[in-house]
Amino acid sequence: MKINKFFGLAISAALIATTANATTLEDVQHLGFVNCGVSDGLFGFSKADTNGKWTGLDVDVCRAIAAAVLGSAEKVKFTPLTDKERFTALQSGEVDVLVRNTTWTLLRDTALGLNFAGVNYYDGQSFMVRKDLGLKSAKELSGAAVCVTTATTTERNLADFFRANAKEYRPVTFESSITAVAAYDAGKCDVYTSDRSALAAWRLTLKEPDVHMILPDVISKEPLGPVVRHGDDQWLDLVRWTLYAMLEAEEQGVNSKNVDQMKESKSPVVRRLLGIEGNMGKHLGVDNGWAYRIIKQVGNYAESFERNVGPNTPLRLQRGVNKLWKDGGLHYPMPFR
């Protein structure tokens, strides 16, 4: 068949125009994968192994979104981003969602044109030092050289902390944590500062991890969570309820092992969560098996926590404030009803 060149161009233009006006969900469905912005390699949160397989607490949120929207937790393209690149990549549409140990703050949630969909890890900023300095508290850090990564909340909190405590310090800034941590390890700084979970991860990469300690002071709130662009409420809802599905599954005792038996459960909440009753998925723009797939393929929040950062992983993080609300923690999924 002879194709009219002009007609062909018109069709391509129309297709591009459709894509440009499409919602994020339509784009993702059209392309067949979720483009997820992640950290360049933060153990426990997002890291690729030598075969290119990504794992981590943040990675699991990306996978859960793909399971909900596309039916398979494997349908994710991971885009590693530095702290500096992350928000531009989301704003420009290069990624569909950012799940990259990113702190929810007022400015990011407003001025940057972004929306935080929730919190997948409640953290706080702290300091790592050599044990032989004999320090007990960050208040004793007067005059210290502090290695820090730029374009982070960390850098600002650091300044606030020293200002509030009327102490001198010398910031030594880097664009990537790998170089900041290497400089600290080489003795170019007395202190490395970051989120506590990140400090636990980076400590393991040092030449002699046991020579270093994390000071007990927590100088900030760092609620880390997935972020989307302003202006696409459906996608915001999907990402938010994906996270809630993982938390609600834990709350209801549904996990990747028992999810098939749980389909027989008499609990109305479990039945709605698993799509046996109600139309939860349809209201989100997907099918009613969305949360079943998240739980079956990725697991509930507790499973993800234990597998990636919990006490039996090298990171050895306690659940602490990351417990569910009913266990005394801060995670509180909104009602599935």
Ligand X SMILES: N[C@@H](CCC(=O)N[C@@H](CS)C(=O)NCC(=O)O)C(=O)O
Residue type, 102: T
Token pair, residue 163, equals: 């200002």
CB of 84 to ligand X, least distance (A): 9
CB of 101 to ligand X, least distance (A): 5
| 192 vs 292, beta carbon nearer ligand X | 192
Long-range interactions of 152-160: CB distance < 8 A, separation 24+: 152/83, 152/194, 153/103, 153/105, 153/125, 153/220, 153/222, 154/125, 154/193, 154/194, 154/195, 157/125, 157/219, 157/220, 158/125, 158/193, 160/219, 160/220
CB of 140 to ligand X, least distance (A): 23
Residue 222 pairs in a beta bridge with 123
Backbone angles phi, psi at 7, to 5 degrees: -60, -45
CB of 98 to ligand X, least distance (A): 10
Q: Which residues of 123-140 are buried (b: 16+ CB within 10 A; e: fewer)?
A: bbbbbbbbeeeebeebee
| 108 vs 263, beta carbon nearer ligand X | 108
| 223 vs 310, beta carbon nearer ligand X | 223
Dist. CA 296–CA 196, nearest whole Å: 30
Instruction: Give me the residue whose beta carbon is nearest to ligand X.
Output: 40
| 102 vs 308, beta carbon nearer ligand X | 102
CB of 45 to ligand X, least distance (A): 8
| 97 vs 259, beta carbon nearer ligand X | 97
Residues near ligand X (CB under 6 A): 39-42, 82-83, 101-103, 149, 152-154, 176-177, 194-195, 198, 222, 224
Place of tokens 């596309």: 70
Which element (helix H / strand E) includes 41? none
Dist. CA 84–CA 47, nearest whole Å: 18
CB of 185 to ligand X, least distance (A): 14
Dist. CA 321–CA 337, nearest whole Å: 26
| 82 vs 256, beta carbon nearer ligand X | 82
Q: What count of other Cβ atoms lies within 10 Å of the Cβ of residue 243?
A: 23
CB of 136 to ligand X, least distance (A): 24
| 35 vs 194, beta carbon nearer ligand X | 194
CB of 152 to ligand X, least distance (A): 3
Contacts of 22 (CB under 8 A, 6+ apart): 30
Instruction: Report in angstroms the alpha-carbon separations of 109 from 76, 102, 215, 227, 305.
Output: 25, 11, 30, 9, 26
| 128 vs 259, beta carbon nearer ligand X | 128
